[in-house]
Structure 1
Amino acid sequence: TQAAAPAPPDEARDTAAAAFAERVRRYDPKADTALIEAAYVTAAQAHASQRRDNGDPYITHPAAVAEILAGYRLDTASIITGLLHDVVEDTPLTMAAIEARFGREIAGLVDGVTKLTRLELQSDRTKQAENFRKLVLAMSRDIRVLLVKLADRLHNMRTLHYVRELPRRQRIARETMEIYAPLAERIGMDAVKTELQTLAFAQLDPEASDTIQARLNFLRGQGADVIEEVRGELRRVLEESGLRVLEVTGREKSPFSIWEKMQRRNVAFEQLSDIMAFRVVVPTREQCYAALGAVHAAFPVIAGRFKDYISTPKSNGYQSLHTGVTLRHPRNQKIEVQIRTPEMHDIAENGVAAHWLYKDGGPASQKEVVRFRWVQDLLEILENSTTGDEFLEYTKLELYEDKVFCFTPKGQLIELPRGATPVDFAYAVHSQVGDTCVGAKVNGRLMPLRHELQNGDQVEIMTARGGTPSPQWERFVVTGKARARIRRYVHQQQKQQNLADGRAMLARAFRQEGVDGSEKALEPALKAFKQPSLSDLYVAVGNGNIGPKDVVHAVYPELRQNAHAPRMVPVLPPRPSSRAYHHGGHDSGVPLTGLVAGMAVHFAGCCHPLPGDRICGIVTTGKGVTIHTRDCQTLASFAATPERFIDVEWDLAAVAEGLAGGGGRGLRTGRISVIAANEPNVLAGLTNAVAKHEGAIANLKVVNRQQDFFEILVDVDVRDLRHLSTVIAGLRGAPGITQVERARA
């Protein structure tokens, strides 16, 4: 028989478009199939001359994205956006043409996804941060942008192996692992999250991925019938208890999930007890707990493995009971059992798409998006972050951490990352509560604000009118929202302080020259230093970016004398009590290398650098060099002026020479933070412990005193970093002292 002639390209395209539109109509009878067919044809025509990396016609990609979206039974606008999401970026078709043909709603969705794609083509971190910033803004307006973007990323990951360049494959895989997989988890799309992680893991660590997959294949071959036996055993136990079982399924954990757990627990593959998980579906919530009781009655329970996500659902709406048990038959198999209702199962698998917001309500359902509290938290982080990199850092904190569940005194459930403190809790309740927080009661007892919260804790936040965030909080908070808000406040305070300092410095400089320094007279300096306003000029002078004399000379050029001579603070003999020194060899008392002779040197009071610390210098006009530790948080404020950084190191020979001189010469001040019980003789024990280890207390300040404890900052003169560590170790053994660490402020 003669084979049928292939259909003409246009006919084949129209047939595919009609078949796809019919598929959507089967689950959504109200779908506009004519518009879907038109979108399919438009995308096919626009991409007609383009090919994918594997050589397939480009239309296969948007068609596959739309198929993924249809698999989640999404609305017409989402399906059409999936078909058209690349046309504006890759073809001559304009946004205006899309709006004219398909309407404003679809044009807005396409525009949101298109902007993300444009930025995604850039590989550096700043562009990635900006990409994520735009994604958060877009999905806060319409969560469908995220759904289309996830479907787009999922298909790209499925075909990533066709990309020839290894660095490009790994960049895409890393971005998928760090951003898109956690986002999929946050909206409850577990199947998408798992597949994205598995595909990205295979690119980022192919050796580990292959090894775990080989182990799974071996186990599968050894016990091909184990899953069926366990399913049968679970069903028998539940039915004998009088329960109606709708479904029992078994599955293996994904390779990445297994690898992650091995890393987190530092255990071998063979030691994992939940490589196999079984899902039990029963009709009602009440029967979930009855099924849990039947399973626990029939099999030995693995301690610490029970989790009740029905009474305390995850933030993405996930509900289920989890428990771990050991089956004596077959083979003492350890398994995880998840028990849920059909509705819970639908949400667990499909997340937000399971109860799609736009099926019935249209734009009015946007109110429902508010229930995704984490989206609102990301928006607050966006508002409080000063740079794109900060935003990316803080949002990753929000997306990654394991969770603990705590309660307000009124019983409201607050979900927090593991390791969270009362300050994180306060900011999770409301930004203003966090800003004005002054103390906390955990389970009725006053606790330090740095206390680590546990599951089930009841937390009462105490606030004070006019209270403000403490810069020290940034050292122990773990949520991105809290850290962004605190850092914003610190930046604002620094800016206000710099503004006041700059105004005073300029007034003094003009007064010394005997010339007018009014705001009107300063206008020429704005242009000379490219400052948008007088406030910005004052801040730049206050933080040392611009010297006050330079401003005077910009306003009155005739006062400039010997302009090319280097400006230098005159060398003065150092005073033992001063924290400012002048470098000029070992005799100066400054044990540093890498400085110009005669340069004034200050040791920063924010980080208290000690011999043994990795350090760097910051040059400030008129003030010399300030020495900071390399991990000092203050250095972030100088990131925009890298020319002010200089490499310096400790001159260990000079350190030893100073110490050999005796009389306290060569000692440096380190700062220690201590939390101690509010009991008699604790301070005496503290001072004795410092003296016992040859430290000398230079200053002591109680910064927070409560009924049960108090916090102290102790300045101790020590020889070097090792000596400070010895003092800290001694303090940790002193009676009544509960926590000791080096302070950075």
Structure 2
Amino acid sequence: MPVVAPGPDSVEPLIEKVRGYNPDADVALIRAAYELAAEAHREQKRDNGDPYITHPLAVADILAGYRLDEASLATALLHDVIEDTGVSRAALEKKFGAEVANLVDGVTKLTRLELQSDRTKQAENFGKLVLAMSKDIRVLLVKLADRLHNMRTLHYVPQAPRRQRIARETMEIYAPLAERIGMESVKTELQTLAFAQLDPEAYESIQARLNFLRGQGADVIEEVREELGRVCNDQGVTVLEVTGREKSPYSIWEKMQRRNVQFEQLSDIMAFRIVVPAREACYTALGAVHAAYPVIAGRFKDYISTPKANGYQSLHTGVTLREPRNQKIEVQIRTAEMQAVAENGVAAHWLYKQGGAAAKAAQRFPWVQDLKEILENSTLDEFLENTKLALYQDQVFCFTPKGQLIQLPRGATPVDFAYAVHSQIGDTCVGAKVNGRLMPLRHELQNGDQVEIMTSRGGTPSPQWERFVVTGKARARIRRYVQAQQRQQNRDAGRAALAKAFRQEGLDGSEKMLEPALKVLKLAALEDLYVGVGNGNISPKDVVFAAYPELRQAPRAPRMMPALPSRGTARPGSGGVNLPVTGLVPGMAIHYAGCCHPVPGDRIVGIVATGKGVTIHTRECPTLESFSATPERFIDVDWDPSATEPPSGGWKAGKGEGYTGRVSVIADNEPRSIANVTNAISKQEGDIVNLRIVNRQADFFEIMVDVEVRDLRQLINVIASLRAAPGVHQVERARG
């Protein structure tokens, strides 16, 4: 009777492959996982019409190619059963144990693939992956194998938008993740497959040119390969292998875009790899190659003495071939062990037979913990943005004063360095020395810089840092702090505004009386109420009516608007006697400093100027340092409540009757942004007396706004309202 070969949905080829590298493997676990998956997916088909079980089998086969353990292969076979079938996590744990159940749960997608076009769902899905792989890096290996097989069969997906979305997600997230754990071959294949979907015209163009070059010089790679071997052997270097290859279509296209050149102008379409027995031989082979060929300046990189974050080690150089070719090529020199790590990354030296290896493997990649911290410090909307910042990096290598190596993306600053060392150091950073010299925090670090971070116990992140940091971890921490500060300011402003509103009505505004208002306004807690009032989303009067609904129907006697209080000599040149500040001689001329724009509520000080009267500054004004040599000019003053507080009926600042506060606003460079800013100010009854655009970029602009207000409390309300306005990213009280 003839032997029937196993079909594509049989588990036997996988089991034979596993036995080939691990004769003692627990094949019963793999077979049981296959049987459950085959039964669970029995009624399902792939887009090409194949039984669905062929996909889990293909994922497991990819992982077996990396010689992974039985738990990883069982996870690959079961990775879709929770999501797509009625099998529960508890059932998996009961049948296969906690290890496999945890791995499957970590890989499981939150929703069906076709429902994940929403950006928030994508962020949730990827956030779950980050949390899972921070505990066990095998989750990422299974996920990458899953994505690789889906990309290999993506052309069967009938809907073009769905193909585009999957390809874009692969290019932005999964290919960089493969690179970060050193799986170069997986990264290259994912990029090539995604590139063919995202820009088929460019892909076909580059492929056509590569095919033409192959036809023009089919023997070039073989000739150069043999020549490099002879060059090394002539210098006494034992060569294990010399290989030549063309660069991938995507890497060629990406270099064309980065350098802004045409295909014909690229000098290193071909790359050659020399594999030698030992680390020392790498440098001997490098000397032989440099002695034999002209070297291309600026192309040498030593990743052996300074490995990449993913463990990659190799020497890279660029040389020009001898005449008549005169062709520029890239040469990589490494050992066999380095080659295994370069191709397979973390899977090249798998240690899961030893206890605790999963945790050790995760610890080898501190960037996984960085991604976890980004997830904890970001909203879901910000998470993907910050993740891409963390994944796409052309790195620079810097050192702490004690010699610790810190790897950062190119363009990183001392603030990025501080957060890379430790989050607390970043939060309390106040200055930095680069190579012994005090440098600005926005200084761009270079390879080999020694960076010393100066911290202060009371130091806090500055909102300005977000303009120049480049790492996702730093940006997430800064945004978290700024948002917490804004919430605190809004909470305090809202509490004060409510107290004032209830006081003016002669009503009890205690927290006990506010609790019924929460239900009416559909809020969960008092803090949310205070914040809503503080940022201008809720009117204090609405809260009063929510707490005392009978007031809505009660007839109210018309309230006469009281006369505005005389501002006396509140403006230069006036001669009245009701001074708005105490501590001065009646009739004395006073001016408000244009460097700090004091308003009632600020802590102030007076500076005497001969023939000009007194200039009022805030006590925090930097200009006061210039008067430190003449302390006799300082006058202790304060705001006069009777002159600055409006009567109980209130009054609106405007027409010269208020005080000018200056605010800096950074907003999207869009047509409605200015309208949103002015509407937010008018919402708090502020009067704009001047507005000036001081910086305009392609995507944002910065404006200075002078707003006439009654006091500091109203200015804080204006700032809070601006921060809540659509398209506004940053609002600060400005000086100068």
State which drifts further: 197-206 or 328-337: 328-337
Q: Give per-residue Cα distances to partners, 1:283-311, cap 9 Å, x unaligned.
A: 11111111111111111111111111111
Cα separation, 1, equivalents of 2:669 and 2:372: 43
**Residue 521 (structure 1) aligned with residue 505 (structure 2):** no
Q: Quick one: which of 286, 303, 311 aligns to 2:305? A: 311
Contact map agreement 1:65 1:151 (CA 8 A) in 2: yes
State which drifts further: 335-344 or 614-623: 614-623
Counterpart amino acid of 1:451?
H
Q: Counterparts of 1:272-671 in structure 2 under 5 Å? A: 272-329=266-323, 331-358=325-352, 360-385=353-378, 387-560=379-552, 605-607=663-665, 615-618=673-676, 624-625=682-683, 668-671=691-694
Cα separation, 2, equivalents of 1:277 and 1:240: 21
- CA pair 179-365 structure 1, distance change in 2 beyond 3 A: closer
Cα separation, 1, equivalents of 2:684 and 2:266: 52
SS at match of 1:93: coil
Partner of 1:706: none
Q: Quick one: which of 13, 17, 21 aligns to 1:27? A: 21
Cα separation, 1, equivalents of 2:419 and 2:104: 35
Cα separation, 2, equivalents of 1:627 and 1:236: 83
Q: Quick one: which of 210, 235, 246 aligns to 2:240? A: 246
Counterpart amino acid of 2:40?
A
Contact map agreement 1:600 1:623 (CA 8 A) in 2: no
Cα separation, 2, equivalents of 1:251 and 1:241: 24
**Residue 193 (structure 1) aligned with residue 216 (structure 2):** no
- CA pair 104-129 structure 1, distance change in 2 beyond 3 A: same
**Cα offset, 1:544, TM superposition:** 1.0
State which drifts further: 391-400 or 22-31: 22-31
**Structure of greater Rg:** 2
**Residue 52 (structure 1) aligned with residue 46 (structure 2):** yes
- CA pair 563-30 structure 1, distance change in 2 beyond 3 A: farther
**Cα offset, 1:382, TM superposition:** 1.0
Cα separation, 2, equivalents of 1:621 and 1:329: 71
SS at match of 1:404: strand
Q: Quick one: which of 98, 122, 125 aligns to 1:128? A: 122
State which drifts further: 552-561 or 268-277: 552-561
- CA pair 347-516 structure 1, distance change in 2 beyond 3 A: same
Cα separation, 2, equivalents of 1:482 and 1:289: 38
Counterpart amino acid of 2:225?
R
Cα separation, 1, equivalents of 2:669 and 2:265: 45
Structure 1: stretches of 5+ with no match in the other structure? 580-597, 629-664, 674-695, 700-741
SS at match of 1:335: strand
Alpha-carbon RMSD across the aligned residues, in angstroms, is 3.5
SS at match of 1:520: helix
- CA pair 277-626 structure 1, distance change in 2 beyond 3 A: farther
**Cα offset, 1:362, TM superposition:** 3.2
Cα separation, 2, equivalents of 1:74 and 1:142: 14
Contact map agreement 2:136 2:361 (CA 8 A) in 1: no
Structure 2: stretches of 5+ with no match in the other structure? 565-569, 572-591, 598-651, 697-703, 708-730
Cα separation, 2, equivalents of 1:95 and 1:47: 16
Counterpart amino acid of 1:131?
N
Cα separation, 2, equivalents of 1:412 and 1:171: 41
Cα separation, 2, equivalents of 1:611 and 1:92: 50
Q: Quick one: which of 211, 219, 239 aligns to 1:217? A: 211
Cα separation, 1, equivalents of 2:374 and 2:407: 17
Q: Give per-residue Cα distances to partners, 1:78-132, cap 9 Å, x unaligned.
A: 1111111122222333333322222221111112212456477421111111111
Q: Give per-residue Cα distances to partners, 1:179-209, cap 9 Å, x unaligned.
A: 1101010111000000000000000000000
Partner of 1:84: 78
Cα separation, 2, equivalents of 1:250 and 1:306: 18
SS at match of 1:261: helix
Partner of 1:204: 198
SS at match of 1:194: helix
**TM-score normalised to the size of structure 2?**
0.78
Partner of 2:728: none
- CA pair 231-623 structure 1, distance change in 2 beyond 3 A: closer
**Cα offset, 1:12, TM superposition:** 5.9
Contact map agreement 1:604 1:626 (CA 8 A) in 2: no
Cα separation, 2, equivalents of 1:599 and 1:610: 29
Partner of 2:620: none
Counterpart amino acid of 1:425?
F
State which drifts further: 97-106 or 110-119: 110-119
Q: Quick one: which of 146, 156, 160 aligns to 1:162? A: 156
Cα separation, 2, equivalents of 1:505 and 1:413: 51
Partner of 1:658: none
Q: Give per-residue Cα distances to partners, 1:602-651, cap 9 Å, x unaligned.
A: 998232789997624448999634899xxxxxxxxxxxxxxxxxxxxxxx
**Cα offset, 1:44, TM superposition:** 2.3
Partner of 2:625: none
Contact map agreement 2:690 2:705 (CA 8 A) in 1: no
Partner of 2:134: 140
Contact map agreement 1:47 1:87 (CA 8 A) in 2: yes
Contact map agreement 1:617 1:627 (CA 8 A) in 2: no
Contact map agreement 2:691 2:706 (CA 8 A) in 1: no
- CA pair 275-608 structure 1, distance change in 2 beyond 3 A: closer
**Residue 62 (structure 1) aligned with residue 56 (structure 2):** yes
Cα separation, 2, equivalents of 1:476 and 1:301: 36
SS at match of 1:560: helix
Q: Counterparts of 1:89-104 in structure 2 under 5 Å? A: 89-104=83-98
SS at match of 2:286: helix
Cα separation, 2, equivalents of 1:534 and 1:171: 42
Counterpart amino acid of 1:468?
T
Contact map agreement 2:314 2:332 (CA 8 A) in 1: yes
Partner of 1:729: none
- CA pair 295-626 structure 1, distance change in 2 beyond 3 A: farther
Counterpart amino acid of 1:368?
A
Counterpart amino acid of 1:185?
E
Contact map agreement 1:608 1:669 (CA 8 A) in 2: no
Contact map agreement 1:414 1:425 (CA 8 A) in 2: yes
Contact map agreement 1:599 1:625 (CA 8 A) in 2: no
Contact map agreement 1:39 1:83 (CA 8 A) in 2: yes
Partner of 2:725: none
- CA pair 620-30 structure 1, distance change in 2 beyond 3 A: farther
**Residue 177 (structure 1) aligned with residue 200 (structure 2):** no
Cα separation, 2, equivalents of 1:116 and 1:213: 37
Cα separation, 1, equivalents of 2:204 and 2:114: 29
Q: Give per-residue Cα distances to partners, 1:314-340, cap 9 Å, x unaligned.
A: 111101110000011451111001111
SS at match of 1:198: helix
SS at match of 1:433: helix
- CA pair 257-397 structure 1, distance change in 2 beyond 3 A: same
Contact map agreement 1:441 1:447 (CA 8 A) in 2: yes
Q: Give per-residue Cα distances to partners, 1:528-557, cap 9 Å, x unaligned.
A: 112222122111111111111111111112
- CA pair 545-429 structure 1, distance change in 2 beyond 3 A: same
Cα separation, 1, equivalents of 2:27 and 2:667: 69
Q: Give per-residue Cα distances to partners, 1:150-172, cap 9 Å, x unaligned.
A: 11110110011111110010011
Contact map agreement 2:135 2:358 (CA 8 A) in 1: no
**TM-score normalised to the size of structure 1?**
0.77
